Amino acid sequence: MRYKDSVVVVTGGAHGIGRALCENFFAAGAHVVVVDIDLPAAEKVAAAVDGFAVQADVGVEADIQALIAKTEAVLGPIDVFVSNAGVALTDGPDWLAASAPDEHWMTSWQVNVMAHVYAARALVPQMIRRGGGYFVNVASGASLLCQVGDAAYSTTKSAALGFAESLAITHGDDGIQVSVVCPLYVATRMTEGGRGVSGSDRVMSADEAADAVLAGMEEGTFLILPHQEVATYAQRKGADYDRWLIGMRRMRQSMLKQNPQFAYEIIPNV
Ligand SMILES: NC(=O)c1ccc[n+]([C@@H]2O[C@H](COP(=O)([O-])OP(=O)(O)OC[C@H]3O[C@@H](n4cnc5c(N)ncnc54)[C@H](O)[C@@H]3O)[C@@H](O)[C@H]2O)c1
């Protein structure tokens, strides 16, 4: 894929993986639009990549429509739309799988899933008319393998993978390319404090993750796995689900040993 003078939108571009993606696309010659709910931080990144910043809550369809209209008015048609913004709100203080409030579930759904739907809803018809376009949807290793301690994150990231599959199947023959990115742990604000990171996991930098995304796009890969071991874990899960669940429970127990403050206690009603 050639980026020289292409128009690339990156949501959640103010921090972490999104910021590193903005820098990489800029280095490859693209015009970069840095979208974030955090405008001052987005403006700093935009200044560094000679792009412009747009404030948007990606979970709100009108914000996605407005940022697309603004981008196309200033720079012309969008070639690549990277839905990277995401939230991980955790199960709550006691790690019960369903204890997070509805508000957490709804925000996770809007930001981790519907933002991808809104971008496609607005852009797919235009991209088909123009002969093509590229959606890069940042999901997670949790889409394939579950995130211990965050049921809403695991559920919505699985849904994000499902939507990317539908997009690729429905519009692959229309010239629409789709990649879905499923990293394990990346050192960003999201993983600060280490909650949910088990000792055995390889934590990579945001720069490494962004490099893997551009390399995957270069190959036209649908499933981009910055941590390649995810492919092996997912195959093992597919081959024997029950065994995989036993392994995940074991991992959860060892994570609780490291973080006993998250253990829940339910007194039997006798
Ligand atoms: N860090 C990891 O270990 C990891 C692993 C797998 C997947 N991911 C995914 O990578 C993506 C980037 O995460 P990160 O680790 O760089 O986290 P981060 O918290 O550093 O960055 C997320 C960015 O999204 C922005 N954002 C959040 N909600 C938004 C909203 N409603 N509208 C607009 N912007 C919003 C934040 O302001 C921030 O700039 C997320 O989708 C995340 O789920 C991260």
Nearest ligand 1 atom to alpha carbon 111:
31
Q: Where do the domains of the chain lie?
A: 7-230
**Range list of H helices, the chain:** 16-27, 39-48, 61-75, 102-109, 115-130, 142-145, 151-171, 206-219, 229-239, 241-258
18, pLDDT greater than 60: yes
Pocket test for ligand 1, best of 9, 17, 144 (most atoms within 8 A of CB): 17
Instruction: Assign 239 a pLDDT band (cuts: 50, 70, 90).
Output: very high
pLDDT (0 to 100) of residue 200: 52
Catalytic residue among 3, 153, 185, 233: 153
Instruction: Assign 201 a pLDDT band (cuts: 50, 70, 90).
Output: low
Q: pLDDT tens for residues 178-192?
A: 999 999 999 999 988
Instruction: Assign 56 a pLDDT band (cuts: 50, 70, 90).
Output: very high
199, pLDDT greater than 60: no
Q: Who has greater pLDDT, 259 or 154? A: 154
Overall average pLDDT of the 59-64 stretch:
98
Q: pLDDT tens for residues 71-87?
A: 999 999 999 999 999 99
Q: Who has greater pLDDT, 263 or 34? A: 34
pLDDT (0 to 100) of residue 96: 85
What lines the ligand 1 site, CB under 6 Å? Answer: 11-12, 14-18, 36-38, 56-59, 84-88, 111, 138, 140-141, 183, 185-186, 188-191
Q: Are 92 and 99 in contact (CB under 8 A)?
A: yes
pLDDT (0 to 100) of residue 77: 98
pLDDT (0 to 100) of residue 268: 66
DSSP string, 145-180: H--TT-HHHHHHHHHHHHHHHHHHHHHGGGTEEEEE
CATH superfamily of 7-230: NAD(P)-binding Rossmann-like Domain (3.40.50.720)
